[in-house]
Structure 1
Amino acid sequence: MSRQARKPLTARGERTRCKLLHAAEREFGEFGFHNASVSSITRRAGVAQGTFYIYYSSKEAILRELVDSIGQKLRRTLKEATDGLATRMEMERQGLLTFLEFAIREKNLYRVVLESQFIDESIYRDYYERLAEAYTAQLQRSQELGETRAGSATAQAWALMGIANFLGLRYSVWEGRLPPAEVVDTVMAFIEGGLTPEDAAAAAAKRC
């Protein structure tokens, strides 16, 4: 559980906690952190205001758990979508498309995560650092297998996350749709050029 969140002891308590978390996501996503209130969250969740403090010590505490929950859900979704794929480039393409689809479905993702940096920067940093940690481990394994270019897997992870983040903002958030196929193909060609091992890239250039 996130810091300052109290773990429910019963199934009923867990259901109540989930209702509060979902209500907070909608409130923060629609109105912003500062305009949302504990009373508006509990009213949306259909519980008494005092019930909130059984689970969370403050509005900041539920924001922390909400961002952590979003991050866990995203990482799980990406893992499920890419498990079993044969090559790193297949994983990159499917991972990118899965993220963009996730951002369309989870309409509050960008606003809640972005706003968290102005409430408590550690919440925002934890979200991205955990994503980067998982991504770095995958890229490190790919390097060890000779599938991707040698170098800092951490740097590769953050660069690729930046690409996905701004594509998500441009298309998933602002337009509510996936990018055109041409855009995805262009981005994937860019990613492939950056990740392909130097020897393989040189051999491909000679064949051309």
Structure 2
Amino acid sequence: MAAQPPAAAKAPRTERGRKTLRKLLDAAAGEFGDHGFHEASISSITRRAGVALGSFYTYFDSKDAIFRALVQDMSEAVKVAAREAIVPDMQPLEIERAALQAFLEFAGEHKEVYRIIDEAEFVDPQSYRDHYETVAARIRERLETGGAKGELRHGLGEIEAWALMGMNVFLGLRYAIWREEGDPDSEGVARAANAMLAKGVAR
């Protein structure tokens, strides 16, 4: 997913090593997504990755270590997806629309992200908290920048950032993970949410 190896992994020294690490993380995403942390095993991850069992320990000390690295990897991938959707000179509200649409599309393509992040609350609570605090900090920075430019209401901060993140997380759950036939596409959902940001819900 993400281009750079997560901090929880031992950094590879060669291009071949980087490819092997990527295979292990992608295999871990599939294994943890399909079976959960407790049912997954290192041997099953290496089989999925098509690498030798010994190669696993070149990069990770344990199943806990690769799980922690995977949460970091997914968090980084979400950030990259949002960043790539934002173009120069976008207005603040349009940035939030584009970032939400990118997240919905990412979650639709990587449905395992919800199970893995949710499981992190119990397997590795610090990674779970770090993930959401990092996302909220990025949203807060965008809101504060918009306020400083006079393009958003002044004084928006942490509370609004967490509220906006919560909305995005549950829209992803409903329209990416639990998507049903006839539902609006990611662009339609993002535009509806953006209209609510712009106009509120008061009459």
Alignment TM class, shorter chain as reference: 0.7 to 0.9
Aligned to 1:158: 162
Structure 2: distance between partners of 1:177 and 1:21: 31
- 2:24 equivalent to 1:17: no
Correspondence for 2:197 = 191
Q: Counterpart of 1:32 in 2: which secondary structure?
A: helix
Give the counterpart letter for 1:191 in structure 2: L
Quick check: 2:107–2:172 contact (8 Å CA) kept in 1? Answer: yes
With over 3 angstroms needed to count, the CA separation of the structure-2 counterparts of 1:135 and 1:183, relative to structure 1, is closer
- CA gap of 1:183–1:103, structure 2 versus 1, over 3 A, is closer
Aligned-CA RMSD value: 2.1
The TM-score, its normalising length taken from structure 2, stands at 0.88
Which protein is bigger by CA-based radius of gyration?
A: 1
2:150 is equivalent to residue 142 of structure 1: no
Change (3 A) 1:39 1:77: same
Structure 2 gap ranges (5+): none
Corresponding residue to 1:49 among 49, 53, 56: 53
Q: Which residue of 1 aligns with 2:173?
A: 169
Query: Cα deviation per residue 1:130-162 (whole Å; 9 max; x = unaligned)?
Result: 111122111111010111112242222111111
Residue 31 of structure 2 is matched in structure 1 by 27
Greater shift, 171-180 or 87-96, is seen at 171-180
Verify the 8 A CA contact 1:171 1:178 in the aligned structure 2.
no
- Is the Cα contact below 8 Å between 1:101 and 1:178 reproduced in 2? no
- 2:98–2:190 contact (8 Å) kept in structure 1: no
For residue 180 of structure 1, report the CA deviation from its aligned partner: 2.1
In the TM superposition, what is the alpha-carbon distance from 1:187 to its structure 2 partner? 2.5
What is the CA–CA distance in structure 2 between the aligned matches of 1:183 and 1:11, rounded to whole Å? 39
1:121–1:24: structure 2 CA closer, same or farther, 3 Å change rule?
same
Partner SS state of residue 187, structure 1: helix
CA 1:129–1:35 in structure 2 vs 1: closer, same or farther (change >3 Å)?
Answer: same
1:47-126 matches, cutoff 5 A: 47-126=51-130
Q: The residue matched to 1:27 in structure 2 has which SS?
A: helix
1:200 matched residue in structure 2: none
Hey, what's the Cα distance between the residues in 2 that align with 1:188 and 1:152? 16
Segments of structure 1 that go 5 or more residues without pairing to the other structure are 195-204
CA distance in 2: counterparts of 1:68 and 1:178, whole angstroms = 34
Equivalent-residue separation in structure 2 for 1:86 and 1:126 (angstroms): 28
Identity of aligned residues (%): 44
Matched to 1:22, the amino acid is D
Q: Which residue of 1 aligns with 2:44?
A: 40
CA contact (8 A) 2:136 2:158 kept: yes
Indicate if the aligned counterparts of 2:31 and 2:44 stay in contact, CA closer than 8 A: yes
Q: What secondary structure sits across from 2:38 in the alignment?
A: coil
Contact 1:100 1:178 in 2 (8 A): no
Instruction: For 1:83, give the aligned amino acid.
Output: V
Report how far residue 176 of structure 1 moved.
Answer: 6.2
Classify the secondary structure of the residue corresponding to 1:7: coil
Q: So what's the TM-score if we normalise by structure 1?
A: 0.86
Return the offset for 1:193: 3.2
